[in-house]
Protein backbone atom coordinates (compact mmCIF):
# COMPACT_ATOMS: atom_id res chain seq x y z
CA UNK A 1 0.00 0.00 0.00
CA UNK A 2 1.49 3.37 -1.00
CA UNK A 3 1.59 6.18 1.54
CA UNK A 4 -0.37 8.88 -0.34
CA UNK A 5 -3.76 8.28 -1.98
CA UNK A 6 -4.34 10.44 -5.05
CA UNK A 7 -7.56 11.25 -6.93
CA UNK A 8 -7.49 12.71 -10.45
CA UNK A 9 -10.39 15.04 -11.32
CA UNK A 10 -10.81 15.48 -15.07
CA UNK A 11 -9.84 12.50 -17.23
CA UNK A 12 -9.00 14.26 -20.52
CA UNK A 13 -5.90 14.37 -22.71
CA UNK A 14 -3.51 15.73 -20.08
CA UNK A 15 -4.56 13.44 -17.23
CA UNK A 16 -4.35 10.36 -19.48
CA UNK A 17 -0.97 11.38 -20.89
CA UNK A 18 0.80 12.78 -17.84
CA UNK A 19 -0.91 11.96 -14.54
CA UNK A 20 -2.41 8.46 -14.51
CA UNK A 21 0.69 6.72 -15.97
CA UNK A 22 3.17 8.55 -13.68
CA UNK A 23 1.58 8.88 -10.22
CA UNK A 24 3.07 5.75 -8.67
CA UNK A 25 6.44 6.36 -10.38
CA UNK A 26 6.71 9.93 -9.05
CA UNK A 27 6.20 9.48 -5.31
CA UNK A 28 5.19 6.92 -2.69
CA UNK A 29 1.65 7.37 -4.01
CA UNK A 30 -1.13 5.49 -5.76
CA UNK A 31 -4.13 6.64 -7.73
CA UNK A 32 -7.34 5.64 -5.94
CA UNK A 33 -9.96 7.49 -8.01
CA UNK A 34 -10.69 8.82 -11.48
CA UNK A 35 -13.35 11.55 -11.75
CA UNK A 36 -14.99 13.16 -14.78
CA UNK A 37 -18.35 14.78 -15.44
CA UNK A 38 -18.45 12.57 -18.51
CA UNK A 39 -18.78 9.24 -16.63
CA UNK A 40 -17.50 7.12 -19.55
CA UNK A 41 -14.18 9.03 -19.41
CA UNK A 42 -13.77 8.37 -15.68
CA UNK A 43 -14.66 4.71 -16.15
CA UNK A 44 -12.35 4.32 -19.17
CA UNK A 45 -9.40 5.88 -17.29
CA UNK A 46 -10.07 3.69 -14.23
CA UNK A 47 -10.10 0.55 -16.40
CA UNK A 48 -7.05 1.55 -18.45
CA UNK A 49 -4.85 2.46 -15.46
CA UNK A 50 -6.18 -0.04 -12.89
CA UNK A 51 -7.70 2.66 -10.65
CA UNK A 52 -10.10 1.08 -8.12
CA UNK A 53 -12.81 3.81 -8.06
CA UNK A 54 -14.42 6.18 -10.53
CA UNK A 55 -16.93 8.98 -9.97
CA UNK A 56 -18.84 11.50 -12.05
CA UNK A 57 -18.36 14.56 -9.83
CA UNK A 58 -15.91 15.98 -7.32
CA UNK A 59 -18.73 16.04 -4.75
CA UNK A 60 -19.24 12.28 -5.17
CA UNK A 61 -15.47 11.78 -4.79
CA UNK A 62 -15.43 13.75 -1.54
CA UNK A 63 -18.46 11.92 -0.17
CA UNK A 64 -17.43 8.37 -1.05
CA UNK A 65 -13.66 8.09 -1.35
CA UNK A 66 -10.77 7.93 1.10
CA UNK A 67 -8.02 10.04 -0.52
CA UNK A 68 -5.32 12.52 0.55
CA UNK A 69 -4.47 14.58 -2.53
CA UNK A 70 -6.65 15.65 -5.46
CA UNK A 71 -5.16 16.63 -8.82
CA UNK A 72 -7.50 18.99 -10.65
CA UNK A 73 -6.89 18.26 -14.35
CA UNK A 74 -10.31 19.34 -15.57
CA UNK A 75 -11.12 22.00 -18.18
CA UNK A 76 -10.07 25.53 -17.23
CA UNK A 77 -13.56 26.98 -16.48
CA UNK A 78 -14.19 24.16 -13.96
CA UNK A 79 -11.07 24.73 -11.84
CA UNK A 80 -12.39 27.22 -9.28
CA UNK A 81 -15.43 25.13 -8.27
CA UNK A 82 -13.43 21.89 -8.13
CA UNK A 83 -10.59 23.51 -6.18
CA UNK A 84 -12.90 25.11 -3.62
CA UNK A 85 -14.75 21.82 -3.09
CA UNK A 86 -11.47 19.94 -2.52
CA UNK A 87 -9.95 22.59 -0.24
CA UNK A 88 -13.13 23.06 1.82
CA UNK A 89 -13.30 19.31 2.38
CA UNK A 90 -9.81 19.42 3.94
CA UNK A 91 -7.89 17.62 1.19
CA UNK A 92 -4.54 18.64 -0.28
CA UNK A 93 -4.75 20.01 -3.81
CA UNK A 94 -2.63 20.16 -6.96
CA UNK A 95 -4.35 22.41 -9.48
CA UNK A 96 -3.75 22.53 -13.18
CA UNK A 97 -3.44 26.05 -14.52
CA UNK A 98 -4.95 28.50 -14.05
CA UNK A 99 -6.28 27.60 -10.61
CA UNK A 100 -8.74 30.53 -10.84
CA UNK A 101 -9.60 33.24 -13.32
CA UNK A 102 -9.33 36.34 -11.10
CA UNK A 103 -7.13 37.48 -8.24
CA UNK A 104 -10.10 37.58 -5.85
CA UNK A 105 -11.10 33.97 -6.60
CA UNK A 106 -7.48 32.85 -6.28
CA UNK A 107 -7.15 34.66 -2.95
CA UNK A 108 -10.27 32.82 -1.78
CA UNK A 109 -8.63 29.49 -2.70
CA UNK A 110 -5.37 30.44 -0.92
CA UNK A 111 -7.27 31.48 2.21
CA UNK A 112 -9.42 28.33 2.16
CA UNK A 113 -6.28 26.18 1.94
CA UNK A 114 -4.78 28.03 4.92
CA UNK A 115 -8.00 27.86 6.95
CA UNK A 116 -8.20 24.10 6.39
CA UNK A 117 -4.47 23.56 6.98
CA UNK A 118 -3.93 21.81 3.66
CA UNK A 119 -1.13 22.11 1.11
CA UNK A 120 -1.90 23.79 -2.21
CA UNK A 121 0.38 23.30 -5.24
CA UNK A 122 -0.19 25.18 -8.50
CA UNK A 123 0.95 24.13 -11.99
CA UNK A 124 2.76 25.23 -14.29
CA UNK A 125 5.92 23.43 -13.31
CA UNK A 126 8.58 25.73 -14.81
CA UNK A 127 10.38 26.81 -11.63
CA UNK A 128 11.16 23.13 -10.98
CA UNK A 129 12.08 21.94 -14.49
CA UNK A 130 15.72 20.78 -14.81
CA UNK A 131 16.60 23.37 -17.48
CA UNK A 132 15.16 26.37 -15.62
CA UNK A 133 16.74 25.22 -12.33
CA UNK A 134 20.16 25.06 -14.02
CA UNK A 135 19.61 28.53 -15.47
CA UNK A 136 18.71 29.92 -12.05
CA UNK A 137 21.92 28.49 -10.57
CA UNK A 138 23.95 29.99 -13.42
CA UNK A 139 22.36 33.37 -12.74
CA UNK A 140 22.96 33.06 -8.98
CA UNK A 141 26.65 32.29 -9.63
CA UNK A 142 26.95 35.48 -11.72
CA UNK A 143 28.02 33.58 -14.86
CA UNK A 144 25.99 35.83 -17.20
CA UNK A 145 26.19 38.88 -14.93
CA UNK A 146 23.25 41.01 -13.87
CA UNK A 147 20.09 39.92 -15.71
CA UNK A 148 18.79 42.72 -17.93
CA UNK A 149 15.94 41.17 -19.90
CA UNK A 150 14.13 37.98 -20.82
CA UNK A 151 12.27 36.90 -23.97
CA UNK A 152 9.83 34.01 -24.05
CA UNK A 153 7.76 32.35 -26.77
CA UNK A 154 4.92 30.09 -25.72
CA UNK A 155 2.64 29.51 -28.68
CA UNK A 156 1.38 26.74 -30.92
CA UNK A 157 -1.11 26.32 -33.72
CA UNK A 158 -4.13 25.91 -31.45
CA UNK A 159 -5.63 22.95 -29.56
CA UNK A 160 -7.68 21.98 -32.64
CA UNK A 161 -4.40 21.70 -34.57
CA UNK A 162 -2.98 18.94 -32.30
CA UNK A 163 -3.09 15.70 -34.22
CA UNK A 164 -3.40 13.52 -31.12
CA UNK A 165 -6.38 15.24 -29.47
CA UNK A 166 -9.55 13.11 -29.22
CA UNK A 167 -11.92 15.48 -27.36
CA UNK A 168 -13.81 18.54 -28.58
CA UNK A 169 -11.32 21.46 -28.33
CA UNK A 170 -13.90 24.25 -28.73
CA UNK A 171 -13.96 25.10 -25.00
CA UNK A 172 -10.39 26.42 -25.35
CA UNK A 173 -11.81 29.28 -27.47
CA UNK A 174 -14.73 30.20 -25.21
CA UNK A 175 -15.27 32.44 -22.22
CA UNK A 176 -13.05 31.72 -19.22
CA UNK A 177 -10.43 29.94 -21.36
CA UNK A 178 -8.46 31.17 -24.42
CA UNK A 179 -4.82 31.28 -25.48
CA UNK A 180 -3.77 33.55 -22.62
CA UNK A 181 -4.95 31.14 -19.92
CA UNK A 182 -3.78 28.07 -21.82
CA UNK A 183 -0.40 29.18 -23.26
CA UNK A 184 0.39 32.65 -21.88
CA UNK A 185 0.33 31.16 -18.41
CA UNK A 186 3.45 29.10 -19.25
CA UNK A 187 5.48 32.02 -20.54
CA UNK A 188 4.41 34.26 -17.69
CA UNK A 189 5.36 31.64 -15.08
CA UNK A 190 8.75 31.19 -16.75
CA UNK A 191 9.62 34.89 -16.95
CA UNK A 192 8.34 35.78 -13.47
CA UNK A 193 10.08 32.66 -12.10
CA UNK A 194 13.36 34.14 -13.40
CA UNK A 195 12.82 37.89 -12.96
CA UNK A 196 10.47 37.89 -9.94
CA UNK A 197 7.14 39.74 -9.84
CA UNK A 198 6.42 42.26 -12.60
CA UNK A 199 5.52 45.84 -11.75
CA UNK A 200 3.94 47.03 -15.03
CA UNK A 201 2.24 45.39 -18.00
CA UNK A 202 1.65 46.43 -21.61
CA UNK A 203 0.21 44.34 -24.47
CA UNK A 204 -0.83 44.22 -28.11
CA UNK A 205 -3.38 41.53 -29.02
CA UNK A 206 -5.10 40.32 -32.20
CA UNK A 207 -7.71 37.76 -33.24
CA UNK A 208 -6.01 36.45 -36.35
CA UNK A 209 -8.01 33.27 -37.08
CA UNK A 210 -11.74 33.66 -36.47
CA UNK A 211 -12.68 30.17 -37.64
CA UNK A 212 -10.64 26.96 -37.43
CA UNK A 213 -10.86 23.32 -38.56
CA UNK A 214 -10.20 20.47 -36.10
CA UNK A 215 -7.40 18.19 -37.22
CA UNK A 216 -7.94 14.88 -35.46
CA UNK A 217 -10.08 12.44 -33.49
CA UNK A 218 -13.86 12.32 -33.57
CA UNK A 219 -13.91 16.05 -34.41
CA UNK A 220 -11.62 15.84 -37.46
CA UNK A 221 -12.80 18.28 -40.15
CA UNK A 222 -15.30 20.07 -37.87
CA UNK A 223 -15.27 23.87 -38.18
CA UNK A 224 -15.30 25.87 -34.94
CA UNK A 225 -15.80 29.59 -34.30
CA UNK A 226 -12.72 31.04 -32.63
CA UNK A 227 -13.40 34.76 -32.56
CA UNK A 228 -14.39 35.25 -28.93
CA UNK A 229 -10.90 36.06 -27.59
CA UNK A 230 -7.57 37.12 -29.14
CA UNK A 231 -5.30 34.32 -30.39
CA UNK A 232 -2.14 36.46 -30.62
CA UNK A 233 -0.45 38.42 -27.83
CA UNK A 234 2.79 40.41 -27.61
CA UNK A 235 3.30 41.32 -23.97
CA UNK A 236 5.77 43.78 -22.45
CA UNK A 237 6.66 43.47 -18.77
CA UNK A 238 8.56 45.88 -16.54
CA UNK A 239 10.21 44.23 -13.54
CA UNK A 240 11.69 47.45 -12.16
CA UNK A 241 15.38 48.29 -11.84
CA UNK A 242 15.70 48.70 -15.62
CA UNK A 243 14.83 45.01 -16.17
CA UNK A 244 12.23 44.17 -18.80
CA UNK A 245 10.64 41.15 -20.50
CA UNK A 246 8.89 40.27 -23.75
CA UNK A 247 6.37 37.43 -24.10
CA UNK A 248 5.01 36.17 -27.42
CA UNK A 249 2.06 33.85 -26.84
CA UNK A 250 -1.10 32.54 -28.49
CA UNK A 251 -2.65 29.94 -30.74
CA UNK A 252 -1.30 31.56 -33.92
CA UNK A 253 2.09 29.93 -34.56
CA UNK A 254 1.68 26.73 -36.58
CA UNK A 255 5.39 26.09 -36.01
CA UNK A 256 8.41 28.05 -34.78
CA UNK A 257 12.18 27.75 -34.59
CA UNK A 258 12.54 30.57 -32.04
CA UNK A 259 14.19 29.50 -28.79
CA UNK A 260 11.32 29.19 -26.29
CA UNK A 261 13.23 31.25 -23.73
CA UNK A 262 16.33 33.43 -23.64
CA UNK A 263 17.76 35.29 -20.67
CA UNK A 264 20.05 38.23 -21.42
CA UNK A 265 22.63 39.27 -18.82
CA UNK A 266 25.26 42.01 -18.74
CA UNK A 267 27.97 39.42 -19.49
CA UNK A 268 26.17 36.60 -21.25
CA UNK A 269 23.02 34.80 -22.38
CA UNK A 270 21.15 31.59 -21.52
CA UNK A 271 19.22 30.04 -24.40
CA UNK A 272 16.70 27.19 -23.95
CA UNK A 273 15.46 24.37 -26.17
CA UNK A 274 11.87 23.13 -26.51
CA UNK A 275 11.36 20.82 -23.57
CA UNK A 276 10.08 17.86 -25.61
CA UNK A 277 9.45 15.95 -22.39
CA UNK A 278 13.23 15.97 -21.65
CA UNK A 279 14.03 19.60 -20.71
CA UNK A 280 17.43 19.67 -22.54
CA UNK A 281 20.43 21.35 -20.94
CA UNK A 282 20.37 25.03 -22.04
CA UNK A 283 23.17 26.79 -23.94
CA UNK A 284 25.15 29.49 -22.15
CA UNK A 285 27.14 32.30 -23.70
CA UNK A 286 29.53 34.05 -21.39
CA UNK A 287 31.92 36.90 -21.93
CA UNK A 288 33.68 36.69 -18.56
CA UNK A 289 37.44 36.00 -18.94
CA UNK A 290 37.48 33.47 -16.06
CA UNK A 291 35.33 31.13 -18.20
CA UNK A 292 37.74 31.14 -21.17
CA UNK A 293 37.23 32.62 -24.62
CA UNK A 294 33.81 34.19 -25.21
CA UNK A 295 31.35 31.80 -26.88
CA UNK A 296 28.53 29.28 -26.49
CA UNK A 297 28.88 26.34 -24.10
CA UNK A 298 26.49 23.91 -22.40
CA UNK A 299 25.04 24.83 -19.01
CA UNK A 300 26.44 21.62 -17.45
CA UNK A 301 29.96 22.94 -18.07
CA UNK A 302 29.19 25.57 -15.40
CA UNK A 303 26.76 23.89 -12.98
CA UNK A 304 25.83 20.30 -12.16
CA UNK A 305 22.82 18.85 -13.94
CA UNK A 306 20.84 17.68 -10.90
CA UNK A 307 17.77 16.41 -12.73
CA UNK A 308 16.05 13.50 -10.99
CA UNK A 309 16.17 10.15 -12.79
CA UNK A 310 12.40 10.26 -13.32
CA UNK A 311 11.05 13.68 -14.20
CA UNK A 312 7.72 14.23 -15.95
CA UNK A 313 4.87 16.72 -15.88
CA UNK A 314 3.60 14.75 -12.89
CA UNK A 315 6.39 16.42 -10.83
CA UNK A 316 3.93 18.63 -8.88
CA UNK A 317 3.07 15.43 -7.02
CA UNK A 318 6.72 15.10 -5.93
CA UNK A 319 6.61 18.76 -4.84
CA UNK A 320 3.38 18.13 -2.88
CA UNK A 321 4.68 14.99 -1.17
CA UNK A 322 7.94 16.74 -0.28
CA UNK A 323 5.96 19.64 1.25
CA UNK A 324 3.78 17.22 3.21
CA UNK A 325 6.59 14.99 4.46
CA UNK A 326 8.90 17.87 5.41
CA UNK A 327 6.14 20.28 6.43
CA UNK A 328 7.47 23.02 4.16
CA UNK A 329 6.10 25.25 1.42
CA UNK A 330 5.92 23.71 -2.07
CA UNK A 331 8.08 25.14 -4.87
CA UNK A 332 4.98 25.66 -7.04
CA UNK A 333 3.28 28.23 -4.82
CA UNK A 334 -0.27 29.55 -5.21
CA UNK A 335 1.02 33.10 -4.57
CA UNK A 336 3.19 32.90 -7.71
CA UNK A 337 0.15 31.56 -9.59
CA UNK A 338 -1.95 34.47 -8.28
CA UNK A 339 0.55 37.02 -9.61
CA UNK A 340 0.37 35.41 -13.05
CA UNK A 341 -3.44 35.33 -12.81
CA UNK A 342 -3.39 39.09 -12.17
CA UNK A 343 -1.25 39.62 -15.29
CA UNK A 344 -3.53 37.42 -17.42
CA UNK A 345 -6.84 38.68 -16.09
CA UNK A 346 -5.84 42.34 -16.50
CA UNK A 347 -4.24 41.90 -19.92
CA UNK A 348 -7.36 43.28 -21.68
CA UNK A 349 -6.99 46.58 -19.77
CA UNK A 350 -3.58 46.96 -21.40
CA UNK A 351 -4.46 46.00 -24.99
CA UNK A 352 -7.92 47.58 -25.08
CA UNK A 353 -6.74 50.81 -23.49
CA UNK A 354 -3.36 50.91 -25.23
CA UNK A 355 -1.77 51.63 -21.85
CA UNK A 356 0.69 50.23 -19.34
CA UNK A 357 -1.02 49.13 -16.14
CA UNK A 358 0.49 48.90 -12.65
CA UNK A 359 0.31 45.45 -11.07
CA UNK A 360 -0.68 44.98 -7.44
CA UNK A 361 0.17 41.40 -6.47
CA UNK A 362 3.54 39.94 -5.60
CA UNK A 363 5.06 36.67 -4.39
N1 LIG B 1 0.58 22.03 -18.00
C2 LIG B 1 0.48 21.78 -19.31
O3 LIG B 1 1.47 21.77 -20.03
C4 LIG B 1 -0.87 21.50 -19.88
C5 LIG B 1 -1.02 21.02 -21.18
C6 LIG B 1 -2.31 20.75 -21.65
C7 LIG B 1 -3.38 20.99 -20.81
N8 LIG B 1 -3.20 21.48 -19.57
C9 LIG B 1 -4.32 21.78 -18.66
O10 LIG B 1 -4.90 20.55 -18.26
C11 LIG B 1 -6.30 20.75 -18.08
C12 LIG B 1 -7.05 19.77 -18.95
O13 LIG B 1 -6.69 19.97 -20.30
P14 LIG B 1 -6.90 18.81 -21.37
O15 LIG B 1 -6.09 19.18 -22.53
O16 LIG B 1 -6.70 17.48 -20.72
O17 LIG B 1 -8.47 19.04 -21.71
P18 LIG B 1 -9.57 17.93 -22.10
O19 LIG B 1 -10.71 18.68 -22.66
O20 LIG B 1 -8.94 16.84 -22.88
O21 LIG B 1 -9.98 17.30 -20.67
C22 LIG B 1 -10.68 18.01 -19.69
C23 LIG B 1 -11.56 17.01 -18.95
O24 LIG B 1 -12.15 17.65 -17.82
C25 LIG B 1 -13.48 17.15 -17.69
N26 LIG B 1 -14.26 18.07 -16.86
C27 LIG B 1 -14.77 19.28 -17.18
N28 LIG B 1 -15.43 19.82 -16.13
C29 LIG B 1 -15.32 18.93 -15.11
C30 LIG B 1 -15.79 18.91 -13.77
N31 LIG B 1 -16.50 19.92 -13.26
N32 LIG B 1 -15.50 17.84 -13.01
C33 LIG B 1 -14.79 16.79 -13.52
N34 LIG B 1 -14.31 16.76 -14.78
C35 LIG B 1 -14.57 17.82 -15.57
C36 LIG B 1 -13.96 17.05 -19.12
O37 LIG B 1 -15.10 16.23 -19.22
C38 LIG B 1 -12.72 16.47 -19.81
O39 LIG B 1 -12.71 15.06 -19.82
C40 LIG B 1 -6.57 22.22 -18.40
O41 LIG B 1 -6.52 22.96 -17.22
C42 LIG B 1 -5.42 22.62 -19.28
O43 LIG B 1 -5.12 24.00 -19.14
C44 LIG B 1 -1.97 21.71 -19.10
Q: For residue range 209-226, what is the model confidence (pLDDT) as tens digits? A: 999 999 888 889 999 999
In a domain, 168, yes or no: yes
Examine the domain organization and report whether 107 and 136 are in the same domain: no
Nearest CA to ligand 1 atom 3: 124
What pLDDT does residue 107 have?
A: 98
Q: Looking at residue 60, which CATH number applies to its domain?
A: 3.40.50.720
Q: Are residues 173 and 295 in the same domain?
A: yes
Question: Is residue 96 in contact with ligand 1, taking CB distance under 6 Å?
Answer: yes
DSSP-derived 3-state class of residue 207: coil
Identify the domain boundary among 118, 141, 163: 118
pLDDT per position as a tens digit, 331-351: 999 999 999 999 999 999 999
Cβ of 12 below 6 Å from ligand 1: yes
Interval between CA 249 and ligand 1 midpoint (Å): 20
Same domain, yes or no: 110 and 147: no
- What are 295-315's pLDDT values in tens digits? 999 999 999 999 998 999 999
Choosing from 118, 134, 159, the residue where a domain stops is: 118
Say how many domains are in the chain.
Answer: 2
Give yes or no for a contact between 51 and 31, defined as CB atoms under 8 angstroms apart. yes
DSSP three-state, residue 26: helix
Using CA atoms, how far apart are residues 347 and 178, in angstroms rounded to an integer?
A: 12
> pLDDT value at position 50?
98
Domain identity same for 167 and 31 = no
Q: Are residues 74 and 145 in the same domain?
A: no
Lowest-pLDDT range of 62-76, 111-125, 151-165: 151-165
Same domain, 140 and 256: yes
User: How far, in Å, CA of 193 to CA of 261, rounded?
Assistant: 12
Confirm whether 318 is domain-assigned: no
Q: For residue 67, is it within any domain?
A: yes
Cα–Cα distances (Å) from 155 to 25, 132, 212, 244, 340, in that order, read 30, 18, 16, 20, 17
Domain that includes residue 29, residue range: 4-118
The reply to whether ligand 1 has any atom less than 6 angstroms from the CB of 33 is no
Mean pLDDT of the chain: 96
pTM, two decimals, is 0.95
Q: What's 240's domain CATH number?
A: 3.30.360.10
Question: Phi first, then psi: what are they for 115, rounded to 5°?
Answer: -60, -30
| Residue with CA nearest ligand 1 atom 6 | 14
pLDDT tens column, 252-271:
999 999 999 999 999 999 99
For residue 179, is it within any domain? yes
Pair 162, 292 in one domain: yes
State whether the beta carbon of 312 lies less than 6 angstroms from ligand 1: no
Residue 71 DSSP symbol: E
264 and 347 co-located in one domain? yes
For ligand 1, whether the C-beta of 177 sits within 6 Å is no
What is the Å distance from ligand 1's center to 130 Cα? Answer: 25
Amino acid sequence: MAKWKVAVVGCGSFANGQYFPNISKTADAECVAAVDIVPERAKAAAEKFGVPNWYSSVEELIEKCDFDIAIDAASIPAHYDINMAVLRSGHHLISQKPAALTVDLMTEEIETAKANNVKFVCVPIHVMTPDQMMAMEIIEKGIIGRVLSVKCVSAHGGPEYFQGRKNDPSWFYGADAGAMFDMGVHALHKVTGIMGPAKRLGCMAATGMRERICRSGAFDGVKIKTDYLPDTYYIALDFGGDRVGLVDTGFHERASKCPPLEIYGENGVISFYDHGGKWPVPDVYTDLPEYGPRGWKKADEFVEDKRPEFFTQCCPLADMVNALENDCEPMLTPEHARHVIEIMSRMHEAYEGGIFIDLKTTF
